[in-house]
Amino acid sequence: MSFYKESQRYMKLFLDDTRTPPDSSWTLVRTIEECKSHLEIGEVEELSLDNDLGEGFLEGRELVKWMAENEIWPKNKPKVHSGNIVAALYMRQMIERYFK
């Protein structure tokens, strides 16, 4: 099963455990693992990140750290929509420093 939107070559991923994407052009993913699988293939154009993804799940900042360590990024600079002020600041700083 393909997760591509038919009219797009690349995906816009919205990582969040409770919120819905701002519009239908975004593909919702609930876990870091889902997000990584799309990033590794190189099919992500835009990425919007939450940090707190529910108890027992990796946090968004772990994904940002993984992207920086592995130099795997979406085509455009990721955005952060997390309500967690401390984690959002960390993610934005990591993105600013390491995004190519």
Q: Which 3 state secondary structure label does DSSP give 64?
A: helix
pLDDT band of 100, cuts 50, 70, 90: confident
Q: Domains of the chain: which residue ranges?
A: 11-98
pTM (2 d.p.): 0.87
SS3 assignment, position 25? coil
| CATH code for the part of the protein at 11-98 | 3.40.50.2300
Distance CA 13, CA 39 (A): 10
- Does residue 5 surpass a pLDDT of 50? no
Average of per-residue pLDDT across 6-14: 76
| pLDDT one-digit tens code per residue, 62-88 | 999 999 999 999 999 999 999 999 999
